[in-house]
Amino acid sequence: MSAGRPFLYLSHADVVAAGVLDAARCVDVCEEVFGLLASGDYLMGGPGKNSHGLGLVFPASSPFPGMPLAGPDRRFVAMPAYVGGRFDVCGNKWYGSNPANPGRGLPRSVLTLTLNDKDTGEPLCLMSANAVSAARTGAIPALASRCLAPGSRVLAVIGCGVVNRAVVAAVMTQQPALEHVVLHDVDADASELMAAWVRDTYGVRADTAPTADACVAGADLVSVAASRRTPLEIASGSFADGATVLLSGPMASDDAFWCDSRVVYDHVPLHQEYVREAAAAPDRGAAYDALIGGPLYRLIDAGRVPPLEGSVDLGSLLSGRVPRPVDPDARTVVVACGMAVFDVALGLDLYTTAVERGLGRALDLWGDELPPTAADLRPTRS
């Protein structure tokens, strides 16, 4: 990138026009990134290169009237990453979350993504990232379902929001035999609306269930992406033998669910970093409570399930380094927590398409002149 070159701004409409809703494309990009994770050609935050991100921790109270206070799902998080391979770019996803936002006509989380030249640091693109984040979040469980549960016919959906809509869209591209979707949400209207969307969009049977336990009964695939504000607990006995449970959000269950399941992580080093960060936190238990894998980490600490080191993740399965499981009666739990490498990679593909299609708006970072360099500031010798 040459000095002074404008960067591109992409609105939500621009991102949609660039193809973020092409679920099959998003799955393909995520599969590429898993290959880079398996080979090590990536960086995320922190000295261990595997931190999910850095968040602001709001206080429970403050003498300063303008300071944000802690609350359920109330946070700001920065998620930097470098993605290698053909992507070869740095970026950062930055988002704020507030459950009060829907009452203001806004999404619960508001996300942006910046792509930067890896050498100069100059911005290439600033884009609206709500759709980017939802698309990659939906693509990962869909990819896992193709790898671990091909030929699935019944999908149970727990939580009928933006994320699970993206999951369903992506799963439909990977599971051609799927014929029935069962949905549950604490808001019955939300589940009815999503069931109608499934029927109208994909032409498959879609029904709602009154409880989460009833929803998962008999399902080959289960996608969990429910609101963090309402505790979710599903008994292990409610799941069908051989079910594949895709966790994109937190879920509580009895210990048997975790101890008797085959666990596949999205990326083991990410979870190892979660545990290290929790150990350094003032309250390790509270840190675990905020994490999708928290119940597993507790059981690992107690020696009741295998340690993270040596555990299986999607990158090792997709790369062929670990053989894919073949026991049809074993329940599998996939724990996917979200990594900025996926946002950055998908964002770069969308940026490239936007440039090709003439989308977005060019913005000038520097104005009429570049800021002074160190050489410019040196005193002139007389």
Q: What is the pTM of this model?
A: 0.94
Share of the chain above pLDDT 90, in %: 88
Q: Under 8 Å CB-to-CB from 342, ≥6 apart: which residues?
A: 29, 30, 33, 136, 139, 140
Mean pLDDT, residues 238-262:
96
Q: Looking at the structure, tell me whether residues 67 and 208 fall in a common domain.
A: no
Q: Is the pLDDT of residue 2 over 60?
A: no
Cα dihedral across residues 297, 303, 305, 311: positive or negative: positive
Between 2-6, 25-29, 178-182, the lowest mean confidence (pLDDT) is in 2-6
Looking at the structure, tell me whether residues 112 and 15 fall in a common domain: yes
Q: Is residue 83 a part of any domain in this protein?
A: yes
Tell whether 379 is covered by a domain: no
- Asked if the model's pLDDT at residue 12 lies above 50, the reply is yes
Tokens of 268: 């083991």
pLDDT band at 381 (very low <50, low <70, confident <90, very high): low
Answer whether residue 365 shows pLDDT above 60.
yes
Whether residues 98 and 194 share a domain: the answer is no
Q: In the structure, what pLDDT confidence band is assigned to residue 367 with cuts at 50, 70 and 90? A: confident
Q: Is 377 helix (H, G, I), strand (E, B) or coil?
A: helix
Rounded Cα–Cα distance for residues 34 and 40 (Å): 10
Is the pLDDT at 43 greater than 60, yes or no?
Answer: yes
pLDDT at position 329 is 86
User: In the prediction, which pLDDT does 376 show?
Assistant: 64
Mean pLDDT of the region 253-280: 97
What CATH number is attached to the domain comprising 74?
Answer: 3.30.1780.10
Assess if residue 359 is contained within a domain. yes
> What integer best gives the mean pLDDT of the chain?
94
**361 is written with which tokens?**
């708006």
Q: What is the pLDDT of residues 116-166, one digit of tens each?
A: 999 999 999 999 999 999 999 999 999 999 999 999 999 999 999 999 999
Q: Which amino acid is present at 195?
A: A
* Claim to verify: residue 313 and residue 355 sit in the same structural domain: no
Is a pLDDT exceeding 60 seen at residue 382?
A: no
pLDDT digits (tens, 9 = 90+) for 270-318: 999 999 999 999 999 999 998 999 999 999 999 999 999 999 999 999 9
Whether residue 106 lies inside any domain: the answer is yes
Any domain includes 355: yes
What is the structure's pLDDT at 369? 74
pLDDT surpassing 70 at residue 88: yes
Q: How is residue 66 written in tokens?
A: 């303008």
Percent of the chain whose predicted confidence (pLDDT) is above 70: 96
Q: Which residue has the higher pLDDT, 374 or 27?
A: 27
Domain co-membership, 361 together with 309 = no
- The answer to whether residues 147 and 221 belong to one domain is yes
What is the total count of domains within the chain?
Answer: 2
Quick one: 316 and 348 in the same domain? no
Q: How does residue 370 score in pLDDT terms, banded at 50, 70 and 90?
A: confident
Same domain (yes/no): 216, 362: no
User: Across-strand partners of 245?
Assistant: 222, 333
pLDDT of residue 56: 93
Q: Residue 30: pLDDT above 70?
A: yes
The stretch 235-250 carries a mean pLDDT of 96
User: How many angstroms separate the CA atoms of 343 and 346, rounded?
Assistant: 5
Q: What is the rounded CA–CA span in Å between residue 215 and residue 234?
A: 10
Is 260 within a domain?
yes
> What is the pLDDT, as a whole number, of residue 3?
57
Query: Which residues, including other chains, have CB under 8 Å from residue 187's CB and lie 6 or more apart?
Result: 160
Average pLDDT over residues 31-43: 98
**242 and 198, same structural domain?**
yes
Same domain? For 173 and 320 the reply is yes
Question: How sure is the predictor about 1, in pLDDT bands with cuts at 50, 70 and 90?
Answer: very low
85-88: long-range contacts at Cβ-Cβ below 8 A with a sequence spacing of 24 or more?
Answer: 85/32, 85/35, 85/36, 85/41, 86/32, 87/36, 87/344, 87/345, 87/348, 88/118
Q: Which domain holds residue 178?
A: 139-339
Using alpha carbons, list the distances in angstroms from residue 371 to 368, 375, 380: 10, 11, 18
pLDDT for position 374: 65
Region 239-251: mean pLDDT is: 96
Asked whether residue 249 carries a pLDDT value surpassing 90, the answer given is yes
Does any domain span residue 382? Answer: no
In the predicted model, is pLDDT for residue 345 greater than 70? yes
Return the structure tokens found at 226: 């429910």
Is 68 a residue whose pLDDT tops 60?
yes
In a shared domain, residues 85 and 143:
no
CA 164 to CA 171: how far, in whole Å? 10
Q: Are residues 66 and 167 in the same domain?
A: no
The amino acid sitting at 145 is S
Residue 378 is assigned to a structural domain of this protein: no
Tokens of 163: 């994320």
CATH of the domain at 329: 3.40.50.720
Give whole-number Cα distances, 75 to 58, 182, 253, 338, in Å: 7, 32, 26, 16
